[in-house]
Amino acid sequence: MTQIKINKSDVFELKTDALVLGVFEKTEKFTGLVQQLDEVFQNKISSLYSENEIRGKLGEVTIIHNFVGFSAERLVIAGLGKIEEFDSDVVRKVSASVLNRLNGINLKQVSFSPIGSDLLGIFNSAKSIVEGAVLGLYRFEKYKSKPAGVSIKSVDLMGFASVNEDQVQDAVNQGKIIAEAVNLSRDLSNEPSNKMTPSVLSEIATDIANKEDFEIEVFDEKDISNFGMGALIGVASGSVEKPKFIVLKYFGKDKKSSPLCFIGKGITFDSGGISLKPAQNMGDMKGDMAGGASVIAAIQAIAKLKLKINLVVIVPATENMPGGSAQKPGDVVTAMNGTNIEIDNTDAEGRLVLADAISYARTIGVSKIVDVATLTGAIRVALGTNYAGIFGNNDELTKNIIESGKIVGEKIWELPVDHDYDHQYKSQVADFKNTGGRDAGSITGAQFIGEFAGEIPWAHLDIAAISRTNSDKFYNRKGATGFAVRTMIQFARLFEI
């Protein structure tokens, strides 16, 4: 584990493998520490800049050696991109890019000077560097006999403590808590499905609740049947793994104040069921519990941050398998709220388990529901892999989530909910069917879920296209991204007393 600490040394006496400075693209003049060091080093940095060896482009990392009279082994100039496009997510990206590059040359200790602190403030700068570091140095190597590991043992923040060390330390702690929660979500989603069964997921959730001292209930198959959750039972029926209905409760303010509710889709493997998926990339469906992972990770962080809110997190967890007892197209199941659903396609299982989770949430009395789900392949057709889709029945709620996403660097775009789509999922034999045809697949999926929310303010995040990535880029690593953890934490802050 990489250590992160505040370092109060003087810049000229700083003993480190590398001191990192940030420069913007197309700046006429350096400021602050860069300007100061440029002068001391007889315009070395500015001449590299004017000769275009350094351009300041986002992600660019230039390593310079051998400065006389300077105890840092290397000076690292990190490109910050265009100043008009600068925000705290740029800092995360820069921090991750620099550390991965320096990790590639086996450095052990890296010191960051404040990046963009004039624009963001010193605390935001510190928090974002820490988040970029913890996210960027994430690896999932537990099944490698010879893990490559990470050479960087310590990341220091240099020149941050002159203001108020306690506040900087608090920013560092917050950044760590948040990024470690994202990494927890990534770990859960990267884990193969034979290791991350519904039972294992419920045990991990139990460990977290015990450690952070909040409440948890894990309902088993019998309880689920007794609740009348026919939709969840239907999905689970094709698997030998037993379903678990996981309910986590955190009270950070007066218990009488009705809690927020985050629900995460918890399909630990989605084979499609009898409507079997094609073989190609089916392995990625071990990550079909990414929504569940992200809301479990979010409540862990919210508890660690001691936010003054009340929150219930619900994860309906099951496999979707085509066993001999599996549900079949044409079957009719009855959800907890009495709604009859015709199973048109067993691969549209997410909306089924969410229907029961939302029905349950309504019975315990929650103020707002946000569900996070890898729901539809169609969301990728609509938005590509840069934005998650959001849908809802309450403008203020959807706007607040989109805004929260902007603050933390997670992009979310709203798609419509409209009664004109209702007919697409009307059934001949039951109240609804679980598919809505080819057109607007993400919208009909969302609206199906919305039918169970009724009058309660509800929003649905479709993270199917953004929950995993195919390449290492900035602070993301190939595999699970942990998307929505940061947005949900930020959103929760809106309800602090």
- Using DSSP, state whether 158 is helix, strand or coil: strand
Q: Kindly tell me which of 335 and 373 has the beta carbon lying closer to Mn ion.
A: 373
Q: Closest by alpha carbon to 392, among 382, 402, 383, 405?
A: 402
State the minimum distance, in angstroms, from the CB of residue 208 to ligand BES. Answer: 24
Partner whose binding site includes residue 378, from Zn ion, Mn ion, ligand BES, none (CB under 5 to 8 Å by kind)? ligand BES
Cα 459 to Cα 151, 238, 396, distances in angstroms: 42, 29, 10
Stretch that binds ligand BES, among 220-228, 299-307, 373-381, 448-456 (CB under 6 A): 373-381
The CA distance from 366 to 260, in Å, is 6
What are 464's two structure tokens?
């199917």
What are 390's two structure tokens?
């959001």
State the minimum distance, in angstroms, from the CB of residue 285 to ligand BES. Answer: 6
Beta bridge partners of 245: 219, 316
239 part of the interface to ligand BES, by CB under 6 A: no
* Sign of the Cα pseudo-torsion (321, 327, 329, 335, in order): negative
What are 116's two structure tokens?
């963009």
* Sign of the Cα pseudo-torsion (368, 373, 376, 380, in order): positive
Q: Kindly tell me which of 132 and 479 has the beta carbon lying closer to ligand BES.
A: 479
Beta bridge partners of 156: 5, 111
The CA distance from 272 to 276, in Å, is 4
Q: Kindly tell me which of 159 and 350 has the beta carbon lying closer to Zn ion.
A: 350
State the minimum distance, in angstroms, from the CB of residue 320 to Zn ion. Answer: 6
Cβ within 8 Å of residue 182, ≥6 positions away:
135, 297, 482, 485, 486
- 3-state secondary structure string across 250-286: EECCCCCCCCEEEEECEEEEECCCCCCCCCCCHHHHH
Q: Closest by alpha carbon to 167, among 127, 107, 110, 203?
A: 127
State the minimum distance, in angstroms, from the CB of residue 340 to ligand BES. Answer: 18
Half-sphere CA count of 398, side-chain side, radius 13 A: 19
Site string for ligand BES, 320-359 (x = CB under 6 A): -------------------------x-xxxx---------
38 part of the interface to Mn ion, by CB under 5 A: no
Task: Determine whether 351 is an active site residue.
Answer: yes
Q: Kindly tell me which of 326 and 348 has the beta carbon lying closer to ligand BES.
A: 348
Tokens 């840069």 label which residue? 386
State the minimum distance, in angstroms, from the CB of residue 264 to ligand BES. Answer: 13
State the minimum distance, in angstroms, from the CB of residue 25 to ligand BES. Answer: 35
What part of residues 267-326 is at the interface with Mn ion (CB under 5 A)?
270
462 part of the interface to Mn ion, by CB under 5 A: no
CA 248 from chain center: how many Å? 18
The CA distance from 418 to 424, in Å, is 11
94 part of the interface to ligand BES, by CB under 6 A: no
Q: Closest by alpha carbon to 433, among 358, 340, 356, 360?
A: 340
Partner whose binding site includes residue 385, from Zn ion, ligand BES, Mn ion, none (CB under 5 to 8 Å by kind)? none
What part of residues 422-481 is at the interface with ligand BES (CB under 6 A)?
435, 441, 464
Site string for ligand BES, 264-293 (x = CB under 6 A): ------x-----------------x-----
What part of residues 214-273 is at the interface with Mn ion (CB under 5 A)?
270
Which is catalytic among the residues 277, 308, 380, 406?
Answer: 277
State the minimum distance, in angstroms, from the CB of residue 294 to Zn ion. Answer: 15
State the minimum distance, in angstroms, from the CB of residue 347 to Zn ion. Answer: 7
What are 412's two structure tokens?
């979310």
Cα 130 to Cα 5, 107, 155, 260, 371, distances in angstroms: 10, 18, 8, 28, 28
Task: Determine whether 277 is an active site residue.
Answer: yes
Name the residues that contact Zn ion, by CB under 5 A.
267, 270, 288, 350
What are 169's two structure tokens?
């330390």
Q: Kindly tell me which of 114 and 291 has the beta carbon lying closer to Mn ion.
A: 291
Q: Kindly tell me which of 350 and 392 has the beta carbon lying closer to Zn ion.
A: 350
Which is catalytic among the residues 176, 249, 351, 368?
Answer: 351
C-beta of residue 388 within 8 angstroms of C-beta of residue 483: yes
302 part of the interface to ligand BES, by CB under 6 A: no
Site string for ligand BES, 245-264 (x = CB under 6 A): --------------------
Q: Kindly tell me which of 25 and 349 has the beta carbon lying closer to ligand BES.
A: 349
- Segment holding 85, helix H or strand E: none
Q: Which residue is nearest to ligand BES (CB)?
A: 377
Q: Kindly tell me which of 287 and 409 has the beta carbon lying closer to Zn ion.
A: 287
> Given phi > 0 = left and psi -120 to 50 = alpha, else beta, which region is 210?
alpha
Q: Kindly tell me which of 236 and 456 has the beta carbon lying closer to Mn ion.
A: 236
Q: How many CB atoms lie within 10 A of CB 212?
A: 16
List, by residue number, the catalytic residues. Answer: 277, 351
Q: Which residues bind ligand BES (CB under 6 A)?
A: 270, 288, 345, 347-350, 374-378, 435, 441, 464
Q: Which residues bind Mn ion (CB under 5 A)?
A: 270, 347, 349
